[in-house]
Structures are given as C-alpha cells and as structure tokens.
C-alpha cells in the first residue's frame, strides 16, 4: 500500500502543479480583461480545487505510513526529516486552504476579480517552495 500511495502522490503532483499554473494564468487573464465568469472558468476552478484536495488526502495518509515523515528528537536538526515531517505538510495544507478560498471567491462574483488569481499564485508559491525537488525529480 505504501508504494502505491507514494507513486500516486508523486504522479498526482504533476497534475496539481499543472492545474495550479492553469488556474493562475486563466483566472488572471479573465480578471485583467474584466471578463464575466463562465462555465469554463468555473469548471477549471472546481477541478483545480478537486486536484489539490485529492493530493491532500493521499498526503495525509502517506504521512502516517512514510518512513520519511517520522518524528525523532533530531527531526528539527535534520533538514530532510524536518521537510517531510513538518514543512512540506504545513505548506501544502496552506496551499489547499488558499486554493479553496480562491475557488469560493471566484464563484461569488459575476465578473472575475484579481483576488482569486492572487490567492492561486500564493498557493502555487507554497507548493513550489516545499516540494522535495531532489527526491521527486532527481
Ligand atoms: C497538496 C499539495 C501537495 C503536493 C503538490 C505534494 C507533492 C509531493 C511530492 C512531489 C513529493 C515527493 C514524491 C517523490 O519523492 O517522488 C511528496 C512527498 C510526500 N508528501 Fe506531499 N504533496 C502535497 C501535499 C501533502 C500533504 C498535505 C502531506 C501530509 C499531510 C504530504 C505528505 C508527504 C509525505 C509524507 C511525502 C514523502 C513520501 C515518501 O516518499 O515516503 N504531502 N509530496
């Protein structure tokens, strides 16, 4: 089960990043051009949020079974251990909250505003800052 979850979380991360970038670019484009919210942008926002939530759920399960997310008395002194046990989960959780608020703000206005795009960018920044890049792509 651990291997399946790890592979899933690793692969789904590509989709999460792709959807995050698409969300920011498209919502930003709609906001700059003061376009009305339509079916496309509402669906894009919904599926971006869904993608983030799926990654969160799998991440939480993984947290309890992964050998990298263990807490020891040296966790805070060890960069890799601290990343997996604390920084990665916290920042990713913040990203999911931000994208969820962005989605809810987008749904509330007729004309697309800049706020959801900025929240989307902040969510992306959280994700990008605390992905274990070396383990993922190295
Ligand atoms: C929502 C955005 C998230 C993204 C984009 C993301 C992305 C990633 C990536 C790319 C890896 C490295 C995978 C690899 O080594 O191939 C990873 C590992 C990991 N993530 Fe996440 N993650 C997210 C959320 C979370 C959350 C919320 C938790 C826990 C509460 C979590 C827990 C973990 C753990 C424990 C690992 C290490 C897995 C292992 O190799 O044993 N992730 N994550």
What are the residue ranges spanned by the domains of the chain?
Answer: 2-137
Query: Which token pair is 116?
Result: 């959801």
Residue pLDDT, tens place only, 23-64: 999 999 999 999 999 999 999 999 999 999 999 999 999 999
Nearest CA residue ID for atom 26, ligand 1: 59
Query: Which token pair is 8?
Result: 């899933």
Binned at pLDDT 50, 70 and 90, residue 109 comes out as: very high
DSSP letter at 91? H
pLDDT at 79 (0 to 100) = 96
Residue 30 zone, left/alpha/beta (φ > 0; ψ -120 to 50; rest): alpha
Average pLDDT over residues 62-88: 96
Average pLDDT over residues 94-113: 98
d(CA 13, CA 73): 30
Nearest CA residue ID for atom 6, ligand 1: 13
pLDDT at 138 (0 to 100) = 84
Is the minimum distance from the CB of 55 to ligand 1 under 6 angstroms? yes
Q: Strand, coil or helix: what is 44?
A: helix
Is the minimum distance from the CB of 123 to ligand 1 under 6 angstroms? no
Sequence-ordered alpha helix ranges (H) in 33-129: 39-65, 79-82, 88-108, 114-129
> pLDDT > 90: what percent of the chain?
99
Nearest CA residue ID for atom 2, ligand 1: 92
Q: Indicate whether 126 pLDDT > 90.
A: yes
Is the minimum distance from the CB of 14 to ligand 1 under 6 angstroms? no
Rounded to the nearest integer, the mean pLDDT of the chain is 97
Average pLDDT over residues 64-78: 96
Q: How many residues in total does the chain contain?
A: 138
């Amino acid at each position: 089960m651990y291997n399946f979850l790890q592979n899933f979380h690793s692969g789904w991360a590509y989709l999460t990043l792709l959807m995050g970038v698409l969300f920011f670019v498209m919502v930003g484009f709609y906001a700059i051009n003061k376009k009305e919210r339509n079916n496309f942008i509402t669906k894009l926002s919904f599926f971006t949020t869904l993608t983030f939530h799926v990654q969160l759920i799998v991440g939480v399960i993984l947290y309890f079974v992964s050998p990298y997310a263990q807490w020891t008395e040296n966790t805070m002194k060890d960069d890799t251990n601290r990343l997996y046990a604390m920084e990665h989960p916290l920042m990713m959780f913040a990203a999911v909250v931000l994208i969820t608020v962005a989605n809810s703000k987008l749904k509330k206005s007729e004309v697309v505003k800049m706020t959801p795009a900025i929240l989307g960018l902040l969510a992306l920044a959280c994700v990008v800052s605390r992905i274990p890049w070396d383990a993922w792509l190295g």
